[in-house]
Amino acid sequence: MKPHKLPLLFTGLYLIAMCALAFFANGTGDEGDSVSHYLFARYAFQHTANFLDHWAKPIFVLLAAPFAQLGFVGVKLMNIGFGTLAAWFTYRVARHLAIPNSWAAMLFVMLAPMHIYLTLSGLTEPLFALWLIAAVFLAVRGQVTESVIWVSFLPFVRSEGLVILCVYVLYLLAVKKWRLLPLLFTGHAVYSVAGYFYYGSLWWVFTKIPYASNSSVYGSGKLLQFVKGLQEVIGAPMYVLLGIGLLYGAFMLFKNLRSLSYRHMAATELWLVYGCFTAYVIAHTLFWYFGLFKSFGLLRVLVGIVPLSAIICLRGLNTIAAVLRQNSKVQQALTAGIAALVFAFTLFGEEWKNHLFLRADQQAQTEMANYLGNRFTGYKYYFDAPYIAMLMNVDMFDKSKKESTSELFTGKAIPDKSLIIWDDWYSVVDIRTNLEMLTGDNRFELLRSFEAPDPWGNRRATYVFKKKQFHANDSSATTTLFSTGFENVPPAQAGRLDSLHAFEGKFCAVASSGAPYSPGFDLPVAELSRFTGKVLRADAQVFIAQKEPNQYKQPLLVISFENEKSYSFNPLHLQDVAPEGKWQQVSFETAIPPAQTAKDHVKVYVYNPSDGPVYIDNLTVTVAEPVK
């Protein structure tokens, strides 16, 4: 087949293969940001502020919103289109630069392993790659003004566009087109005005950048992570070609700059291919090494420069072929052989099952969604993993339907019809909601947990909790808030249980000199707002092993209303109502005081500063009418 027909063949095969994967591989490329970007686009027409969200990226949301209405597959198909165009523009750039075997540049883009599976996602990297290589294409065609205007919008595709704009400044100075420098502000000017009517400020394009921080919650990492990580992005054969191509750039392009006939092309390749590639890698290296701009060290960001790396790899390929320049047939065979090697490494060198299908945490969440089904219609959701919103078809931007688990601990009242879904990554790492915070919270009951193994031997977990609903007891004026026999407590409280003295069941709680506070009841006072004017009553079985003669060290059953410090401390002196060495039913009550702040809590527990242990079992907390 003639070389000029190869790009059309590659394009057809690529589209067929990628579209098939879009429909038959159920993965999302990434279980976090990929899904979040999709959700921003999916609900953009209902929440128009999404079109101006700096994290979601305004241009991505604008382009993706129509496709997202078709579901996640729609966004996959959109990114396949972006990836195909990026490969085509890469080929056209190579042709305009008069690089031999320009068809191979297209192939290198299509066969970069990470480019393949992240194209089947909702991530912004494929659009960034297309936008950047399109800007380079305009420049190599001599349309520098159009290239500058086009690239000025790149920061609204991904924030690394600001790095590329810096390279463009140097490029325009190098080619003596400094009069075009103001055009680099075109994108910011357009979006400043567009966002002014929502944010009330022209400066939102800078003040709303979510990464404008000199620190990162994710810490920092190794200096060469991105340099070495390029091999994972483009594959081992292309990594070798990239190294050779970079050497070519170092030794040949500076030499060509001296030739008037190559001045524009050589300068354009030097600054916009090699310069943008190098600046991008160096920027991410420094961000991660020094823990800047909320960098997480993710290698996927390098997908944005895969087209540039493909051109550099092509230079490396032709450098090898040039050694055999006296034998064109051997050159062609070598080029075809290297292309076949790249294809083989891409096809057989990856664990494609891990990349193309649902990950372990998503599998657990899918099982959870199937379990819930439609049984909880009308409930409000509290969760953090974006994939759950996609599974449950929940509008994550409507706070009447969904909030983060962090909102459970702000003191606000939680609706009775609420489901809490905890996951072992987003809830823990991003929101700082540990599982023990939910299992130890008396407002919630665990419905079920779901687990799935990942390739590294870990079990990814998702837990579903239901908000307890406080209903009046039958034929009674009381409402039960809490009842426990201490058979199921959070792991953190397991050390405060006893299995030898239980009144009923296998366990009771114990308070002793080493741990004077027993497990008990803890509830935001906001949950009691409906019970204004009533009393809180605590009933329990208590066992005092040995009475304490010192009146200041005697054990207490406590009902405490507090906000960091107690403002209504109500003790029952247990030695006054319970004998030594036997179980005794005890009870007492206190009026519910007005809450002082939204963060107030009410707690019921045994406090025992004495030397001997005190055991408690069958603790029940109720609300009752006061005695007239």
Residues 351 and 460 in one domain: no
Task: Determine, yes or no, domain membership for 401.
Answer: yes
Task: Determine, yes or no, domain membership for 126.
Answer: yes
| Cβ atoms within 10 Å of 275's Cβ, excluding its own | 23
Residues 230 and 268 in one domain: yes
Task: Determine, yes or no, domain membership for 25.
Answer: no
Residues 419 and 350 in one domain: no
Residues 151 and 298 in one domain: yes
Q: State how far the Cα of 549 lies from the Cα of 540, in Å rounded to an integer.
A: 23
Task: Determine, yes or no, domain membership for 181.
Answer: yes
Residues 62 and 208 in one domain: yes
| Cβ atoms within 10 Å of 611's Cβ, excluding its own | 12
Please provide the size of the chain in residues.
628
Q: Find out whether 478 and 624 touch, Cβ atoms under 8 Å.
A: yes
Task: Determine, yes or no, domain membership for 298.
Answer: yes
Instruction: Return all residues near 307 (Cβ < 8 A) that are at least 6 apart.
Output: 86, 87, 89, 90, 93, 109, 129, 130, 132, 133
Residues 76 and 187 in one domain: yes
Give the H or E element holding residue 606: strand 601-607
Task: Determine, yes or no, domain membership for 473.
Answer: no
Residues 138 and 276 in one domain: yes
Residues 483 and 457 in one domain: no
From 330, 356, 382, give the residue that closes a domain: 356
3-state secondary structure 222-251: CCCHHHHHHHHHHCHHHHHHHHHHHHHHHH
From 323, 356, 389, give the residue that closes a domain: 356
Q: State how far the Cα of 552 lies from the Cα of 556, in Å rounded to an integer.
A: 10
What is the domain-level CATH number for residue 602? 2.60.120.260
List, in sequence order, every residue forming a beta bridge with 571; answer none if it has no partner.
558
Please state the φ and ψ torsions of residue 222, each to the nearest 5 degrees. -75, 150
Convert 277-286 to b/e letters by CB count within 10 Å (16 or more is b): bbbbbebbbe
**Pairing state of beta strands 556-563 and 565-573?**
antiparallel
Residues 497 and 461 in one domain: no
Helices 276-289, 161-174: inter-axial angle, 10-degree rounding: 140
Residues 499 and 572 in one domain: yes
Residue 595's domain comprises 479-624
* Nearest of 124, 299, 176 to residue 228 by alpha carbon: 299
Residues 277 and 367 in one domain: no
Task: Give how far the C-alpha of residue 482 lies from the chain's centroid of Cα atoms, to the nearest Å.
Answer: 35
Instruction: Return all residues near 503 (Cβ < 8 A) that are at least 6 apart.
Output: 541, 543, 583, 615, 617, 618
Task: Give how far the C-alpha of residue 588 lies from the chain's centroid of Cα atoms, to the nearest Å.
Answer: 48
* Nearest of 390, 527, 543, 514 to residue 468 by alpha carbon: 527
Q: Find out whether 542 and 586 touch, Cβ atoms under 8 Å.
A: yes
Strands of 521-524's sheet in order across: 521-524, 601-607, 556-563, 565-573
Task: Give how far the C-alpha of residue 8 lies from the chain's centroid of Cα atoms, to the nearest Å.
Answer: 37
Q: State how far the Cα of 103 lies from the Cα of 90, in Å rounded to an integer.
A: 9
Helices 103-111, 236-248: inter-axial angle, 10-degree rounding: 130
Query: pLDDT tens digits for 25-57?
Result: 999 998 899 999 999 999 999 999 999 999 999
Based on the structure, what is the number of domains in the chain?
A: 3
Q: State how far the Cα of 382 lies from the Cα of 388, in Å rounded to an integer.
A: 10
Give the H or E element holding residue 59: helix 58-68
From 314, 333, 356, give the residue that closes a domain: 356
Query: pLDDT tens digits for 330-370?
Result: 666 667 777 777 766 666 666 778 888 999 999 999 999 99
Task: Determine, yes or no, domain membership for 1.
Answer: no
Task: Determine, yes or no, domain membership for 451.
Answer: yes
Task: Give how far the C-alpha of residue 580 lies from the chain's centroid of Cα atoms, to the nearest Å.
Answer: 56
Residues 55 and 156 in one domain: yes
Which residues does the chain have with pLDDT short of 50? 260-262
Strands of 402-403's sheet in order across: 402-403, 380-383, 418-423, 459-467, 444-453
